[in-house]
Structure 1
Amino acid sequence: MLIASEVRAAGTWDAALGADSVVLDFDSRHRRRHAMAGRAGTAFLLDLPQATVLREGDGLLLDDGRIVRVQAAPERLAEITAADADALLRIAWHLGNRHLPTQLLGKRLRIRHDHVIIGMVEGLGGKVAEIQAPFDPEGGAFEHGAAHAHAVIHGEHDGLHTHRS
């Protein structure tokens, strides 16, 4: 089986040369070791030294030199806006206080669809639009440490287990 043991960051490789692509939702883009199959049928084992958040446009370097492009799958999201920057900042604080993965887009925030959280956001004066889009939340200042802590919480410390998708 082919093995991908290196990630080439989006923009650092020629995407036109990609041999195949994998379409993954956000949970499936946080991996260390996982069997994958590309849209064109390329089967390979992702085998990274540590759990890594794969981003849209990243390339997975196969041991035969080909690259498989990572594509972020559209997901059901809530896009949040507010009357002004202060109101949006207050909403962002409440989302962060609940440790919710949040994508920061200037004057908009995106979270996974959750009717309870949407109710809270609307109660804080936010406007919510339900959308389908790739989800790429903020990684945080301690992304490696946070990923490690997340893996430990889910019993994945040995790196051989991954999230179910």
Structure 2
Amino acid sequence: MIRATQVHAQHRWTEAPADTVVLDFDDRHRRRMAMTGTRGLEFLLDLENAVALRGGDALLLDDGRLIEVVAAPEPLVEIRGSDPHHLIRVAWHLGNRHLPTQIMAKGLRIRRDHVIEAMVKGLGARVVEIEAPFDPEGGAYAGGGHDHVAEDHHHHDHAAHDHSSHDHGDHHHHDDHHPHDEHCDHEHHHGHTHAHDHK
């Protein structure tokens, strides 16, 4: 099976892609995984390190062809505050729980989780259920092997992440396929049949 061993960052490629893969957030953070494009091209993602792919990235095949990565819509909630200060306060609580969070111009997006949604509502924020691609901050703790620009894609949002209130000593983000920590106990729903892990 032909392999994809490199990643070209968002929109930094100009060639027409040979095929497209539509992946949810979990399937966009892998190192080795069999994939099938929307036009039927089968290949093996075989990266040196697990990489957090984003919509608009391209995977480089051994023969030089490119596969475009498209972020699949997922069940999310958008959190809206009464003002920016209120939204920052909510973001701090989400960051303190290590929840992957996408920061929008006027809101925050997380995966649906009734416990977290109740907490957010208790903080006075409004919660709106949506279906949209999920692209959380920080590159989902991505490691090396990706040519994304570091300052744009590989940073924590320190305004929403308190490092003094909990111990990171036993917390290893790079050891997991998914950029979720062991405290994240909500369900993740996979509806895609195009991707299979190679353990």
Tell me whether the two structures share a fold, i.e. TM-score over 0.5. yes
Residue 22 of structure 2 aligns with which residue?
23
Identity of aligned residues (%): 59
Residue 58 of structure 1 aligns with which residue?
57
Q: Match of 1:10, SS?
A: coil
Indicate how the Cα distance of structure 1 residues 147 and 45 shifts in structure 2: closer, same or farther if over 3 A, else same: farther
> Which runs of 5 or more residues in structure 1 are unaligned?
155-160
> How large is the RMSD of aligned CA atoms in angstroms?
2.5
Indicate how the Cα distance of structure 1 residues 110 and 95 shifts in structure 2: closer, same or farther if over 3 A, else same: same
* Contact 1:59 1:67 survives alignment (8 Å): yes
Q: Distance in 1 between matches of 2:36 and 2:45?
A: 10
User: 2:4 aligned with 1:7, yes or no?
Assistant: no
Greater strand content: 1
> Which runs of 5 or more residues in structure 2 are unaligned?
145-171, 183-195
How far off is 1:108 after superposition? 0.7
Q: Distance in 1 between matches of 2:111 and 2:198?
A: 17
Greater helix content: 1
Residue 91 of structure 2 aligns with which residue?
92
Q: Distance in 2 between matches of 1:43 and 1:149?
A: 27
Which residue of 139, 143, 150 corresponds with 2:176?
150
Q: Which amino acid aligns with 2:12?
A: T
- Length-normalised TM-score, structure 1: 0.87
Q: Match of 1:89, SS?
A: helix
How far off is 1:150 after superposition? 3.2
Aligned length: 157
How far off is 1:107 after superposition? 2.0
- Length-normalised TM-score, structure 2: 0.72
Indicate how the Cα distance of structure 1 residues 162 and 43 shifts in structure 2: closer, same or farther if over 3 A, else same: closer
User: 2:42 aligned with 1:43, yes or no?
Assistant: yes
How far off is 1:148 after superposition? 1.5
